[in-house]
Chains A and B, each alone.
Chain A
Amino acid sequence: MLGKEVSTTDEFVKGLWRENPVFIQVLGLCPALAVSNTAINALTMGLATTFVLLMSGMSVSALRNFIPREARIVSFICIIASFVTAVDYLIQAISIELSRSLGAFIALIVVNCLILGRAEAFASKNTFGRSVLDALGMGVGFTVALLWIGVVREILGSGSLFGVALLPDTFQTWTVMVLPSGGFFAMAMWLLLVNWVNERAADAEKRAQEATP
């Protein structure tokens, strides 16, 4: 990658798989495990995080020449916390029911290391446009990862998907999947799968290189 020009589409695409925040960077696991017990909670949490990621990425990259190095963390946290507060009010204005089901986790987006991580590692060093793409890619990657975990946990733990009953009543639901430990199980399963797929792809690439001297 050194010195190579990164295309703008790549800034977006990398967050989806190659640098997926949950499965590859293993960031932001607290909400990823805590609120992924149902698919709808996972989706809402993912979208709320994406919004905060996008807004804080835009602000940080727009203000990057204005924020001195020594004051960057306090500035980033201040910006992120403000957008989280705004999101909290917006969700309450959209639906009290939704806000009730997410409980304390909206406020905890502030301490999601993914958001601070992207502000520090990317938005504070890159242009506005690239930061927008990076934030969107990471946000979508985070949302999709949460949704995957949420789908597995809801199907096995409650026998339903997005609140619609999927499995027959005779299915004994795995209560452990809706508990915190179920989050770890589902996460581990997806990590195993993602790493296996990546390893196979790497092997195939290596073989292809050896075959063509």
Chain B
Amino acid sequence: MNIPGPIQQPPTSAWSMYRAIVGIGAMCALLIVTVYQTTADRIRENQERFLAAAVSQILPAAQTTVAVVQTEDGRLEEAVETPALPVFMGYNADGELVGAVVTAQGMGYQDNIRVLYAYSFELDAIVGFKVLDSKETPGLGDKIEKEPHFLANFEALDATLTPDGDALLHPIVTVKQGQKLQPWQLDGITGATITSEAIGNILNDSANTWAPVLEKNSHAFAIREISEEQ
């Protein structure tokens, strides 16, 4: 029997190992940097376009928007830089305040969910909703993005404030599918219980913070002069 043993190869010199690993590392770094540099502008544009499209989709009356931030004493002022969870005031063609769009986030079933919702000063209600980022189970948790009866919750989800205007009068809660009785309840999704409850919690937490701030500042932001160039 003449079975060939493992092929004996001379040991590799340290220099050629070093050359290969450092060389490949440098080439890969160059590749990543090049692709990042060439795509960075497109990606930022895409993200801005996506956010702008989402804002105008959920607050169609708004022609222009202004990003605002909260100062330490609870006032709102125009944002210099768009923050990570931006809040926008929306104005119609005549420069009148028609609503606000708030970004909110919280833990879902799989991962963080980031959503956008529109707040109407006239109705004291949430009048639009869109998921920005979610890794919920495809086919179940992601129904929060497309299930018609769930999206129907956001025709006018009650967010009335207490008489002193410091918090929501009724907390926003998710109920079992088909059991919605009150305008502040969210009709949940069978098969996506945790995800639809997460949306209720995210909206409740965010609206509890933002609805009072937005209402208190709505007079200061009521009218915006439309500049001639636009």
Contacts and interface: CB of A to CB of B under 8 A. Distances in A.
A166 interface: no
Given A85-B35, A89-B35, A178-B140, A63 B24 contact: yes
B191 A175 contact: yes
Interface string A82-108: 110110011011011100100110000
A37 interface: yes
Interface string B1-35: 00000000100100011011101110011011001
Contact of B135 (A63, A85, A95, A104): A104
Interface residues of A, number: 34
Nearest to A55: B31
10 contacts: A41-B138, A63-B24, A67-B20, A68-B20, A78-B21, A81-B28, A86-B35, A96-B50, A175-B139, A178-B138
Contacts of A178: 138-140
B131 to A, nearest CB: 9
B35 A70 contact: no
Most buried by A among B9, B25, B35, B42: B35
A163 to B, nearest CB: 10
B39 A175 contact: no
Contacts of B135: 103-104
A157 interface: yes
B26 to A, nearest CB: 10
Contacts of A83: 31
B47 interface: yes
B13 to A, nearest CB: 8
A69 B32 contact: no
Nearest to A70: B12
Interface in B32-59: 32, 35-36, 39, 42-43, 46-47, 50
B34 to A, nearest CB: 8
B137 interface: yes
Contacts of A96: 43, 46-47, 50
Interface of A: 37-38, 41, 63, 66-71, 74-75, 78-79, 81-83, 85-86, 89-90, 92-93, 95-97, 100, 103-104, 157-158, 175, 178-179
Given A82-B31, A95-B46, A37 B139 contact: yes
B133 A75 contact: no
A45 to B, nearest CB: 12
A37 to B, nearest CB: 5
A82 B25 CA distance: 9
A98 B36 CA distance: 18
B39 A82 contact: no
Contacts of A95: 46
A75 B20 contact: yes
B137 A179 contact: yes
